[in-house]
Amino acid sequence: MDAFESWFRSNGGYLHHSVQLAQDAEQGSHFRATAIIEPGTHVLTVPHNLAMSNLNAQVDDNFPVFRTHAQKFTVEALSFFYLTAQWLNRDKSFWKPYLDILPSPEQGFETPIFYDEDDRQWLEGTDLHPTLLGREVAWKKYWEDGVQVMESAGMDVTDYTWELFRWAATVYSSRSFNGLTVTPQDSQYWTAYKHDANGTQTVLLNQNDYPEDWKKFSVLFPAIDIGNHNPNARVNWTYDPDRFSLSVSERIEPGSQVYNNYGPKSSEELLMGYGFCAPNNPYDGLLLAMRPPPPPLQQMLSITHPEYFKATGEWNSEAATFRLLQAKLQETSDAGPFDQAWGCVPAPLAELFCYVVQLERGVDVAPIEDAEEYLYHGEGKRYLPRIALYIMMSLVPKIGKLEEANEKLPSQPTNQRQASVKIYRDMQYEVINTVQERMATYLKDLQPETVSSSAGSAIWTLEDALDLLEMEMPAVHKSFMSGVKYVTGTTKLRKLRGSEHEEYLWTILLCFIYLALTNDSEFANQGLIGKWTQSLVEEYGEPDLAAADPDEEADEEAAEYLDRVKKAAMFLPGSLWTNPAWTADFVLDFGMRISKSQGTYMDIGDEEEGEDLRYVVYLHV
């Protein structure tokens, strides 16, 4: 470290006199206070002439292939190959003292791309596993394409191995800073530093000569990358035109580490970038990526939310990925069922699901101005039960992948890498299970405590809905139940629980109630059932009650429903079962459409009763 510090200071670097560069097996390279450091103290400055990036590669005469063929590489690959070249020629490199304090290629890193097969098994089933595989594929492509460029330029690439390139790429992924740190705000030129036997020279590179994707790159800043991460460390980064500085905003005692703070990073980011994670990370959570929505919906979203699309116009699932934060689950642990369920769901995710639900229902889909207000406090609450089901279904494959991977894992980790991943896996389990449980509790809480006209918006079982019908419209209830006997062979609804007959009867019941209300104005808009119907008509529109064309062939599923209605009509002449409005269009576009898009099979049992599967329907007022 002495040689590095001497090189650093002699080239314009600043290190506070009370900060010591230290190195040991447990903490690696790090900063340590030798005396009290007060808040506001400027502890470190790295001048831009010490930084390393693709800018240096483009002006280095020792490696002409990088200068003359720069844009045949990706901007990331050029940086990685240049660091590889510096390592291979480190005895002559300007950055030799810096290279000497980096983990060597033989040592490698603790990041997942260096995991062996046993370690990688612990990642299977997690959100991080596909990210790792994707990074490995991308980096190998950078390496293969870059080697081809160098070979075609007549360069000997024997020593430019995948293992060395992987090391260089990991140095960047674990230690680099955003290229904005060296991008001037008031000039179109980057300053590139050229180091050779004659000393250091500056070369200006015109940003306008580069495509947009070349304007986002990473930079290595020797010394400032030594500080270990502490998410609670209070530090300030200052970007000046020719230097990058670090100051602390808290008192640091003698002998304590002087930490850096890499910013709000989840365990995925910490593991992938730095090879460690810790329990109870406030930025941890579960990633939910939105799959490409149906084409009609994409057409609207491409206008209202262009950020979810690639430049080519394709849906970008990576951009439409949302994090269910563990910290939000903890914050709402003492809240009511609604806040527990929705407190951790980002409103933009719920908004996208809302559009899918609206499209599924066949109702108008219009852009939502304020998703949080509309969905969690406004009219959009009618869609939340369905959105809850979508979220729960999205989590099923995730828990399945984790459980499948668990079958191959030993009961306990056998090294520190595996121990870190276990912390991460356990967090993923906890978030998935907590979200599933809270959504289920939210849905169960929507069931009315008692059957009454004051129940409001609720999830109804068929039996509870029929009890309400008997209370509010006894004659209609009697007529309906008389028909049920003929179409199902029983009026004992307990026998139908959880069967397809329950779903069928819901479709018929919704149609039956609508006909009863339209035939008798006395009931229109009266009682809770009247409010249900009014709300459904406002959302779905008035159903078409025109008589069916006798020559038109009915939908097969609708025909099956109508055959059962006709059976009841045979035995109950003059009842609503004989109404000519019973058509395939009416059954499909009203009753079945509502029962399928607002209904689902749900376990309404409790610990005492055990499982009790029913077909339930959410009805909003």
DSSP assignment of 434-486, as one string? HHHHHHHHHHHHTS-SS-STT--SEEEEHHHHHHHHHHH-HHHHHHHHHHHHH
Least confident interval from 2-16, 40-54, 77-91, 264-278: 264-278
Q: Check if the beta carbon of residue 462 is closer than 8 Å to that of residue 493.
A: yes
For 512, half-sphere exposure in the C-beta direction (CA atoms, 13 angstrom radius) is 29
Q: What pLDDT is recorded for position 519?
A: 74
How does DSSP assign 239-261, residue by residue? EETTEEEEEESS-B-TTSB--B-
Confidence of residue 561 (pLDDT cuts 50, 70, 90): confident
The Cα–Cα gap between 101 and 104 comes to: 8
Q: What pLDDT is recorded for position 551?
A: 58
Q: What SS3 state is found at 42?
A: strand
Q: What pLDDT is recorded for position 609?
A: 74
Q: What pLDDT is recorded for position 545?
A: 83
26 vs 119, residue with greater confidence:
119
Q: List, in sequence order, every residue forming a beta bridge with 195; answer none if it has no partner.
A: 200
Confidence of residue 548 (pLDDT cuts 50, 70, 90): low
Tokens for 361? 């229902």
Least confident interval from 23-27, 421-425, 472-476: 23-27
Q: What pLDDT is recorded for position 142?
A: 97
Residue with structure tokens 């006798």?
550
Q: What pLDDT is recorded for position 19?
A: 94
User: Does the pLDDT value for residue 549 go beyond 60?
Assistant: yes
Q: For residue 237, count CB atoms less than 10 angstroms from its CB and return exposed for 0-12, middle for 13-18, buried for 19 or more.
A: middle
Question: Per the confidence metrics, is the pTM higher than 0.85?
Answer: no
Q: What pLDDT is recorded for position 320?
A: 94
Confidence of residue 524 (pLDDT cuts 50, 70, 90): low
The Cα–Cα gap between 189 and 194 comes to: 15
Averaged over 34-47, what is the pLDDT?
Answer: 96
Q: Check if the beta carbon of residue 101 is closer than 8 Å to that of residue 4.
A: yes
% of the chain beyond a pLDDT of 70:
98
Q: What pLDDT is recorded for position 293?
A: 93
Confidence of residue 246 (pLDDT cuts 50, 70, 90): very high
Give me the domains of the chain, ranges plus CATH numbers.
1-50+221-275 (2.170.270.10), 52-218 (no CATH), 285-445 (no CATH), 458-619 (no CATH)
Q: What pLDDT is recorded for position 523?
A: 53
Confidence of residue 520 (pLDDT cuts 50, 70, 90): low
Averaged over 149-176, what is the pLDDT?
Answer: 96
% of the chain beyond a pLDDT of 90:
77
Averaged over 490-496, what is the pLDDT?
Answer: 85
Q: What SS3 state is found at 575?
A: coil
Q: What pLDDT is recorded for position 87?
A: 98
Q: What pLDDT is recorded for position 586?
A: 92
Q: What pLDDT is recorded for position 522?
A: 55
Query: Which of the listed ranges 76-90, 356-370, 580-594 does the model predict with the highest average pLDDT?
Result: 76-90
Confidence of residue 213 (pLDDT cuts 50, 70, 90): confident
Average pLDDT value for the chain: 92
Q: What pLDDT is recorded for position 29?
A: 86
User: Does the pLDDT value for residue 435 go beyond 80?
Assistant: yes
User: Does the pLDDT value for residue 197 go beyond 90?
Assistant: no
